[in-house]
Copies of this chain bind each other. A is one copy, B any other.
Amino acid sequence: MSTFLGITTDDQGRKHAMEPCLEPCPIERGMRVLGGKWKGSILWHLKDGPVRFNDLARQLGGASKKMVTQRLRELEEAGLVTREVVSDRPIAVVYKITDFGKTTLDFLETLKHWVEKHQI
């Protein structure tokens, strides 16, 4: 019976992971919330104040409206942004980053720095 780097080999030579990420590890769970395509960008674009739906879609240029809607719904569900109908007739909706959403900005900034530093 031996152990090396989190892998156990039993007396029959069978190997087993000691701490398998059976249920996804923190990094993976985090990526599922923030790693979806466009999610980071949306949060980043909301950091300076509320933005209306179409303005957001335009700034994200490259993401279709459907994608933007879909990501916004997910971010809303995760409590990172809120949707607010500002006026009916003519309809106007703004999306705002929540206080909780703002806690991700550190992380996004780290990513941005990394990308810029290494010319990704």
Q: How far is the CB of A4 from chain B (nearest CB, A)?
A: 9
B-facing residues in A89-104 (Cβ within 8 Å): 100, 103-104
Q: Of B51, B54, B60, B118, which contacts A5 at CB under 8 A?
A: B51
Q: Is there an interface contact between B58 and A20, defined as CB atoms closer than 8 Å?
A: yes
Identical copies of this chain, number: 2
Q: Taking each of A30, A48, A60, which has the highest tally of chain B beta carbons within 10 Å of its own beta carbon?
A: A30
Q: Is there an interface contact between A55 and B25, defined as CB atoms closer than 8 Å?
A: no
Given contacts A17-B55, A20-B62, A30-B115, 10 further A-B contacts (CB under 8 A): A21-B41, A23-B62, A24-B41, A24-B62, A28-B37, A29-B120, A30-B40, A30-B111, A31-B40, A33-B120
